[in-house]
Amino acid sequence: MQSRASLASWYALLVLSVATLYAVIDRQVIILLSQQLKADLHLSDTQIGSLQGFGAVLFASIAAFPLGWLADRMDRRVLLSLCVIVWSIGIATCGLATSYPSLLASVALLGAGEAGLSIIVFALIPQLFAEKQRMTANFIYYAASVVGGGVGIALAGLIIDHIGVISHLVPTGEFTRETWRLVFFAVALPGPVLAIAIVFLRLNSQPAPAPISTPTAVELPELNFRAYLAANWKAISAVFVPFGLVILGASAVFTWLPIILMRKFEMTPGAVGAGLGTAMVLGSVGGLVLAGSAAKAMKSRWGVMTPVRVSQIGYSLYALIIPLYLFARTPTEIFVIATIQMGLGIGGNSLLPTVVQDLAPPQLLGRFFAISTVSSTLFGVISPVLVGLLSDHVFGPESGLQMASLSVAFPAVVIGATIYWLADRHIARTIAKVRAPDTSPPLPSGELARDDRWPPSTARKEA
């Protein structure tokens, strides 16, 4: 019985990893089709950037907390299936777009649906794996998601380049004349099948959702959450702000790099997808191996600060790589730089879940991972739009797109890495408080709202 349950759990992890790959393909298709969308719908670079910023990213940040709240109160498999259906509808309606506003609305629907993916998956994993297997499952899922980024862009490029194989089978009409519309329709097809597969996943345990009307289940954790944020805001900001700035810098490069390659070297989407996909896979695997090896080697020296140190070094080296794009003269050189940059970025971010877990107790982790999602998405809103504005109005859309991209990326990552290093002692102090046992006396009930000690949950429970 145990072996069957274990097999079912690994199958579930596979399905969840496929869902992540599917989400990556949907996002990459929009990027790789940017040149065709620009020509047929008469879009500017600012509008192309806003599709990734205000469209996908902003609405993902808006949807993250409500989806995280729902994930604690209903069957997570059903919720994730609904998310898959929503983003499948979003990518399909992209194929019906006739103007920038209609395309933006479709991308916003796509972003809102994808917002719950990592939040729900990380909440599902404890229901699939025992404690001793959980860390392995988390690492495998994270590795699958980052490697899937490279596989996703390669598959997206293949779909775009070979959509003509089936185009003759589709009746010619208003929404099938342009092949890019068929690409969106084709990519949307697996969504319902994947949603059904998720609904029927087997769980090892299914804790009952917390009753919404019970003060102990809802109101007290909310008070604890606010008190904890107030007492530890320096350390929390010192982790999430640098993370957001690095995401901003990465988005400024990798969102626009496919478009830069297609414009500058007249590469096809398939060639760009294959090249960048290979770079992202090799860089991701290399970064994961390097970060894991470094963490293991330095654990005895750095102790609980090991994940933080590895991230700090990764971010610093990541910043130094960005200017090298200015000296690249061939696509191959760009792919090599992208491989190195991806490895350092993934290496720096791979231990972020551990850093977040060290910053907060288990009862607050769901909301802290929601903060992580919101942080990355809000900073991600700024990046594509800012690059598009600089390209349109400062550097010029043809040859200046690369300069616009690097002008946003480099200072963002440098500032993020600097903040991370300067706030080192605040992070260490908070981690020490989280790990230390609570020895403070209980508060009188009248002092409940003003409690800002850690851990406040113990004081409230005793009061």
- Span 36-50, pLDDT tens digits: 888 888 888 888 877
Position 251 scores a pLDDT of: 86
| Residues 186, 114 share a domain | yes
Q: Are 189 and 103 in contact (CB under 8 A)?
A: no
Of 183 and 210, the structure prediction assigns the larger pLDDT to: 183
In a domain, 332, yes or no: yes
In a domain, 174, yes or no: yes
Per DSSP (E only), the strands in 232-390 are none
In a domain, 210, yes or no: no
Of 122 and 305, the structure prediction assigns the larger pLDDT to: 305
In a domain, 379, yes or no: yes
Position 170 scores a pLDDT of: 66
Q: Residue 24: which domain range?
A: 12-201
| Residues 137, 67 share a domain | yes
Could you tell me where the DSSP H helices lie in 33-72? 34-40, 45-50, 58-71
| Residues 49, 170 share a domain | yes
Alpha-carbon distance of 94 to 322, in angstroms, equals 32
Percent of the chain with pLDDT over 90: 24
Position 73 scores a pLDDT of: 78
Residue 219 pLDDT greater than 70, yes or no: no
Residue 291 pLDDT greater than 80, yes or no: yes
| Residues 311, 176 share a domain | no
Chosen domain end from 137, 167, 201: 201
The region of weakest confidence among 71-75, 129-133, 285-289, 325-329 is: 129-133
- Contacts of residue 396, defined as CB under 8 A and 6 or more positions apart, other chains included, come to none
Of 50 and 272, the structure prediction assigns the larger pLDDT to: 272
- 377-389 pLDDT per residue, tens: 778 778 878 888 8
Alpha-carbon distance of 98 to 440, in angstroms, equals 63
Q: What is the pTM of this model?
A: 0.69
| Residues 414, 300 share a domain | yes
| Residues 434, 355 share a domain | yes
In a domain, 209, yes or no: no
Chosen domain end from 174, 201, 228: 201
| Residues 306, 390 share a domain | yes
| Residues 197, 220 share a domain | no
| Residues 232, 176 share a domain | no
- 413-434 pLDDT per residue, tens: 999 999 999 988 999 988 888 7
Q: Which residue from 440, 406, 143, 392 is spatially nearest to 289, judged by alpha carbons?
A: 143
Q: What are the tokens at 21?
A: 């790959």
| CATH at residue 67 | 1.20.1250.20
| Residues 240, 184 share a domain | no
In a domain, 233, yes or no: yes
| Residues 222, 140 share a domain | no
> Total domain count for the chain?
2
